[in-house]
Structure 1
Amino acid sequence: MVENIENLPTYSKGQLALRNGQDKPAIWIAYKGMIYDVGASRLWKGGKHYEHWAGQDLSEELQDAPHAEWVFDRFPLIGRLI
């Protein structure tokens, strides 16, 4: 975990939307205001994970996931969503 999240770069929803694995090669998702790079995960190949698309805030969608928010511990925290 990053010790000082205030020092992380900030990104808008528009900037996040471009990191969908199609418009730009980066594959990012947001959860609870934090942005994670999920590009190294085979489960996010092409910017899609089951019915979820990268480049979005998935905070609401996690409620229906078969896992909890601990899953984000596996991915680099790269910024904050503003």
Structure 2
Amino acid sequence: MKTYTKQQLALRNGQDRPEIWVAYQGIIYDVSQSRLWKNGKHYEHWAGQDLSEELQDAPHTANVFLKFDQVGKLEEKI
């Protein structure tokens, strides 16, 4: 699986490029086909980011990511 930096992920926000990606627990998911992520925004969340810390406030579990294709891994900074 290809590795992407946070800067590369940030470009996949539905504004700068047509892809709409989000990261969770080090995995990047393509949410482009989701009507809930239209224009790169989902309620108060923006695409192109790592949503790992924000999921605890969501009304759903991490199982929501099972619906989406994994496109890569988020590069870990050491």
TM-score (norm 2): 0.96
Q: Which runs of 5+ in 2 are unaligned?
A: none
Q: Which runs of 5+ in 1 are unaligned?
A: 1-7
CA distance in 1, matches of 2:70, 2:60: 18
Tell me which residue corresponds to 2:34. 41
- Name the amino acid aligned to 1:30: A
Shift of 1:61: 0.2
Equivalent position SS for 1:60:
coil
Shift of 1:12: 0.1
| Residue from 2, 7, 10 that aligns with 1:9 | 2
Shift of 1:34: 0.2
Equivalent position SS for 1:23:
coil
Q: Is 2:61 the partner of 1:68?
A: yes
- Name the amino acid aligned to 1:28: W
- Name the amino acid aligned to 1:19: R
Shift of 1:22: 0.2
Q: Is 2:77 the partner of 1:77?
A: no
The Cα offsets for residues 15-55 of structure 1, whole Å up to 9 and x where unpaired, read as 00000000000000000000000000000000000000000
Tell me which residue corresponds to 2:47. 54
CA-based RMSD = 0.2
Kindly tell me the number of residue pairs found equivalent between the two proteins: 75
Large movers: runs of 4+ above 4 Å: none
Percent identity over the alignment is 71
